[in-house]
A and B are shown apart, each in its own frame.
Chain A
């Protein structure tokens, strides 16, 4: 199984070399050589004129066809449902319609509030487990409850937010169910004939996109970061069926316990919810210069963000970081000041509706995705901007 080369056929022509998207192929001593890291995507096989590349698929039993329907894990904190759940229901509705299947939300917690909202965003059914054992969002009971529900009702797809909780609970569920899970998807589509979820995600720091499927096992599971998909308009008239599940406390015990919670007060910026974000990068030169951006943010009623270098240098707390290892944002307006635009940063903000880039370097990659670019000195542009906005 895997990839093999028929060295009787390979003449070392190198036709496959440029076609490997990961750059793993070389010609050494007139024969092709493959380095570690192959994903078996098949690009080289198509490029080879001599049929010297053999990719053997693993024989897989067909997926269990009794699994039907799309589920969204409706994450809550203190009884309040997180925004990403509504975003996923909006997307989930499209997926369920493409499959001709029902869309269900799963709410696990204690003290239920706003479950009706889940129907307004598209859920046909809402499974609710209300138990004190679930109050503090400890992973083991959550994973236990979700796995049990999946075993019982057999959905073909389960999607969840890639929040700090989702990222630790959902892999546990995938491991219990021995099924596939794809992290941080930015695109979800359906192959209706095969009833497959096509899960597209960035890899290698956003340089390459990979589409992944879970062919033989069910459910097909994926996580999606908040703000990647747009929330549809809620339909208050839509009614869903609410199904309360009774769970015995047994099996829901947790080996972890929440002792205390300390709120991050610098987190008042609420990057995830801001309509306008003012963001600064290395081009600010020194930590004090964030004051200038703070003033601009204040005038605009915007939240303050940062690319990674200022965070790494301790100019601004991590909670402000936008990008691959920070937050994903999608505001109406994103103003990037002194940010060159690494792929990692852009991965976290490129879905913003309007992007303004202010940078000295006309060759900065950020200009490729900017709606409006200003090549110039941010220390001249930003104060002018503040002045004019104040006068308006």
Chain B
């Protein structure tokens, strides 16, 4: 089974810090990491390859330094990686990103399965997966928590929905997004690390992709950010004083008065 895993390199910030002087995000010294949700996609790809044979190709669209993320992918079991990088790709919204990735996936040799993370840490939309599936005219199953069985032409997966989970059968090729419940990503092996170091990662530009310039990057984006601001948090609260007994009495009094309880 040939598997394509889509990755994004994101700023590795677990806790976003804001500079109180300037009210901006602190980015200095922040290292790029593989979007944490994508690490489960990568692990699942590698596990499926181990189960059914084939190969795993990791692809990413991003600046030249996103190559680090792809080397990391190779260190944990991806066979090959391709970086889609071109100034023309900059400023892409989800539609333009999905088009770029879909064009690259079509250029790869025959694939059976595309795996994405559920969303990215920075953009946080979760839209690229289903959009690229539509462009590739393949089915998309979101929030997969288990791949029960796969063969050449068909795959059975479990997906999470609000009310519980569904078992879905899909024909292949297909695309899925996975949730973190699906697996525990492995650490790189020594062999993996040395492979990652020596791997040759091709960089595909818009021209090499044969992509329509009007459909990539800013030109291909349908949405545009017109304003960016910081949420206003008005302190509307009242801190209840005293010992625990009087704090609890005060609280119950307030809630009772407001007819909340």
Residues of A at under 8 Å CB distance from B? Answer: 1-2, 17-24, 26, 35-41, 43, 58, 77, 139-140, 143, 163-165, 167-169, 171-172, 174-176, 178-184, 198-199, 202-217, 254-264, 267, 272, 276, 300, 318, 324-325, 332-333, 342-343, 353-357, 362, 367-377, 380-381, 384-385, 388-389, 392
- Measured CA separation A139–B133 after assembly (Å): 11
Q: Known interface pairs A18-B21, A256-B139, A256-B169. Does A203 touch B249 (Cβ–Cβ under 8 Å)?
A: no
- Whether B222 lies near A179 (C-beta < 8 A) is yes
The reply to whether the CB of B160 lies closer than 8 angstroms to some CB of chain A is: yes
Q: Known interface pairs A164-B160, A210-B227. Does A175 touch B252 (Cβ–Cβ under 8 Å)?
A: no
Kindly identify, within residues 201 to 248 of chain B, every residue whose CB is under 8 Å from any CB belonging to chain A.
Answer: 217-219, 221-231, 233, 235-240, 244-245, 247-248
Q: What mask results when residues 7 to 49 of chain B are scored 1 for a CB within 8 Å of chain A, else 0?
A: 0000100011011011111111000000000000000000000
- Whether B239 lies near A367 (C-beta < 8 A) is yes
Nearest A residue (CB) for B247: A374
Per DSSP, chain B at the interface is: mixed
Other than the given A23-B22, A139-B140, A171-B131, 12 more pairs (CB < 8 A) read: A23-B19, A171-B134, A174-B127, A175-B98, A181-B222, A204-B122, A208-B228, A256-B139, A262-B167, A354-B260, A356-B255, A374-B239
Contacts of A17 in B (CB 8 A): 22
The reply to whether the CB of B91 lies closer than 8 angstroms to some CB of chain A is: yes
- Whether A180 lies near B133 (C-beta < 8 A) is no
Contacts of A212 in B (CB 8 A): 223-226
The reply to whether the CB of B165 lies closer than 8 angstroms to some CB of chain A is: yes
By CB atoms of chain A within 10 A, which of B90, B124, B170 has the most?
B124
Q: Could you pull out 28 A-B pairs where Cβ atoms are within 8 angstroms? A: A18-B22, A23-B28, A24-B27, A139-B139, A179-B95, A181-B223, A183-B94, A183-B124, A203-B122, A208-B230, A209-B229, A211-B227, A212-B224, A212-B225, A214-B222, A214-B223, A255-B174, A257-B169, A260-B167, A262-B164, A263-B163, A325-B119, A343-B16, A354-B260, A367-B237, A372-B238, A372-B240, A372-B251
- Measured CA separation A1–B90 after assembly (Å): 10
The reply to whether the CB of B112 lies closer than 8 angstroms to some CB of chain A is: no
The reply to whether the CB of B121 lies closer than 8 angstroms to some CB of chain A is: yes
Contacts of B238 in A (CB 8 A): 371-373
By CB atoms of chain A within 10 A, which of B125, B222, B231 has the most?
B222
- Measured CA separation A259–B159 after assembly (Å): 11
Residue of A22, A176, A182, A257 touching B24 (CB-CB under 8 A): A22
Chain A nearest CB, measured from B53 CB (Å): 23
- Measured CA separation A178–B98 after assembly (Å): 11
Nearest B residue (CB) for A331: B260
The reply to whether the CB of B171 lies closer than 8 angstroms to some CB of chain A is: yes
- Measured CA separation A257–B18 after assembly (Å): 46
- Whether A371 lies near B236 (C-beta < 8 A) is yes
By CB atoms of chain B within 10 A, which of A168, A353, A380 has the most?
A168
Nearest A residue (CB) for B18: A207
- Whether A40 lies near B124 (C-beta < 8 A) is no
Closest 7 CB pairs of A and B: A180-B222, A18-B22, A175-B134, A180-B223, A264-B164, A183-B125, A171-B130
The reply to whether the CB of B54 lies closer than 8 angstroms to some CB of chain A is: no
Contacts of A215 in B (CB 8 A): 224
- Measured CA separation A264–B164 after assembly (Å): 4
Chain A nearest CB, measured from B92 CB (Å): 11
- Whether A369 lies near B233 (C-beta < 8 A) is yes
- Measured CA separation A212–B227 after assembly (Å): 7
Contacts of A264 in B (CB 8 A): 163-165
- Measured CA separation A39–B24 after assembly (Å): 14
Contacts of B22 in A (CB 8 A): 17-19, 23
Q: What mask results when residues 111 to 154 of chain B are scored 1 for a CB within 8 Å of chain A, else 0?
A: 00000000101111111111111110011111100000000000
